[in-house]
Amino acid sequence: MVPYNGLYYIQIRENDRENSYLDMAMLAVREASSTSDIHNLLLKRKSDNPHEFSDEDQYNNNVIEDALKENSNIEWLAPILAKHSFTGDVREPLEFSDDNYAVMRLGNTITLAFPSDFSFQSKEIIFVVEGFYVPWVEE
């Protein structure tokens, strides 16, 4: 990621016919020289379907989340801007994992901005999002 005007920008776009419910979006920034190894924890799905999770996938997601939250070499950054293409400001629902959702439908986007000034000189940036989706069903 490269900062633009002192901020990191990420855009989330809903391209599928489904409703997505985003509960939290943050950057986890850690020292690149950190001794903790989280690379091997990253989700590797056994299915080609991005919406299909096995019990093992869910377990791996929980392990990753726990490892990230317990790592003291990580700075957690909430977005300072979260603009939904239809409903406007959705920063408040995305700041915490609290069952307060930003809802996305087909074609919607959310543009997020995060500060780019960290205490770490050499860093690794991980984009962390919590939420779920409901598939679209033709009636």
Look at residue 45 in the predicted model and tell me its pLDDT.
47
Look at residue 137 in the predicted model and tell me its pLDDT.
80
Instruction: Indicate the SS3 state at residue 107.
Output: coil
Look at residue 72 in the predicted model and tell me its pLDDT.
59
> pTM of the predicted model, to two decimals?
0.74
- Residue pointed to by tokens 């950054």: 77
Per-residue pLDDT in tens (0 to 9) along the chain, 139 residues: 788 898 999 999 999 989 999 999 998 887 766 555 555 445 444 555 555 556 666 666 666 666 666 655 778 889 999 999 999 999 999 998 888 999 999 999 999 999 988 766 667 788 888 888 888 887 7
The whole-angstrom separation of Cα 133 and Cα 66 is 22
